[in-house]
Chains A and B, each alone.
Chain A
């Protein structure tokens, strides 16, 4: 009589034990930063690790910057600012928007989508470009106008001569621009369609080649790791090279899972990218990265990461592609979610004169949060050299609350770093102290 009940209790206890085992062991910070990161074994518990940002207001607080620098909010109440562009006359353009909307295919998509949304701004994306002007060079951007609106989740921005290019989530468009203009005079002209089916990773990063002949467009994958099928990945996880004159494109480099920001190196003309790597392989593997992008290069996704480290979740596998995969240049740490990259300028001063700034929106699928800051990766002889240092931090306070999430960064050649913050909907400006 009693025996089945006893068995039931014993069985349930065993199941509960099975549920609570192997929950994430490694909780140290990213040991995997730099040119040759340590890549721990893959691990994934029964539940993926998650730690979602708990948003709070800035109040009187401000992000932390190094001694000798000051930070100010130059625009607030934006509508999901993601990327910015400093125009030749010092005006700043901000792309505001929120794309995506990929269909939910599994119960997981429904549940995870809800959970992740808790760490984001509830403001609706602006689908517009805002222009900010500091008329008297006092560091206060007193003039603000809507340069263009009714765009479709604009993200990447680039200026070539008198043409302003905007990468919407579904198309690359262009506006005529003359210096001093505060509002587009006509509707945008389409240069080319961009891959937009599903748009799991919707952001379209953009930068122009040094000679102005080409645009480079970063296009993210349509899944974490092929869970929407291989057909969904046609024309995804790559950087396109677009001919400015004709709109014709070719894949410039492939296997880049989510190239969220691109920048051309001053002097060399070399294209660089920050790329967000795959989830659910462990808290410290694989690292998001900064890399120079080689024409024709294949960087691993989905078959492998950081060179030849095979991802077993992909079927069918492709050993030839794995063998061809290039290891990136510089690991930023796993799950930091790099969404901005910009080359510095001597006017930034001191130890921050030569290198790149990288905006890190911050992790969600890792027990101990990482990212939530802007780091500086120092360069020497045109290559990353040395440890990344925090340049803007304090977005996630010691109280566990998150007041901002830094994304796109751009550098004003007169000596300022512009940081878009898509949680507090603020544009920050960091300058050497006067």
Chain B
């Protein structure tokens, strides 16, 4: 049993999951940076990069989302922080999907909605990763 004398220990994310959620955040960050580069340069290759990075973020994020849903089979995960983690993952993925559709517009039609959504998606994914990876006890990562 995963309990200690003083308080219940939260089951940590599996390392593969930790990798995937980190990758998702990084991919969405890459999309945001690419959108910013397009915004200041008018060079369309940046918005092409953003499109692919968003698609990859959705792919990785989708796997994380499915595995988060599967994690709900553990009773100790049906509580606030884990549910919040799942919620942020879900919203990040959904907004990311809309962002992918926005990025399917041609040339400057992506701006500004794509840039704004990329920032929101990155933030949401970042919060999700924080909730998923931080076990509540700094300096004592188990």
A interface residues, Cβ below 8 angstroms from B: 1, 4-5, 7-8, 11-12, 15, 18-19, 44, 46-48, 105-108, 223-229, 279-280, 312-316
Contact = CB atoms under 8 A, between A and B. Distances in A.
Given A106-B104, A108-B103, A313-B109, 6 more contacts: A5-B87, A7-B87, A8-B86, A46-B101, A106-B52, A228-B44
Contact of B98 (A1, A46, A225): A46
B94 interface: yes
Instruction: Choose among B55, B78, B105 the residue with the greatest number of A CB atoms under 10 Å from its CB.
Output: B105
A227 B104 CA distance: 10
A226 B42 CA distance: 11
A108 B42 CA distance: 19
A107 B100 CA distance: 9
A296 to B, nearest CB: 27
A4 B84 contact: yes
A19 B98 contact: yes
4 smallest beta-carbon distances between A and B, as pairs: A108-B104, A227-B106, A4-B83, A315-B42
Given A15-B95, A315-B42, A1 B107 contact: no
Interface in B81-129: 83-84, 86-87, 90-91, 94-95, 98, 100-109
B94 A11 contact: yes
Q: Per DSSP, are chain B's interface residues mostly helix, strand or loop, or mixed? A: helix
B45 interface: yes
B110 to A, nearest CB: 9
B94 A15 contact: yes
Interface of B: 42-45, 48, 51-52, 55, 78-80, 83-84, 86-87, 90-91, 94-95, 98, 100-109
Contact of B107 (A8, A48, A315): A315
Contacts of B48: 105-106
Contacts of B42: 315-316
30 contacts: A1-B80, A4-B83, A4-B84, A4-B87, A8-B86, A8-B87, A8-B90, A11-B87, A11-B94, A15-B95, A15-B98, A18-B98, A46-B101, A105-B48, A106-B52, A106-B104, A107-B52, A108-B104, A223-B106, A224-B106, A225-B106, A225-B107, A280-B109, A312-B109, A313-B106, A313-B107, A314-B107, A315-B42, A315-B107, A316-B42
A90 B33 CA distance: 62
A226 B51 contact: no
B51 A12 contact: no
Nearest to B91: A11
Contacts of A19: 98
Contacts of A5: 83, 87
Contacts of B105: 44, 280, 313
A110 to B, nearest CB: 10
Given A8-B87, A8-B91, A229 B109 contact: no
Contact of A229 (B43, B98, B102, B103): B43
B51 A280 contact: no
Contacts of A18: 98
A25 to B, nearest CB: 18
Contacts of A312: 108-109
B79 to A, nearest CB: 7
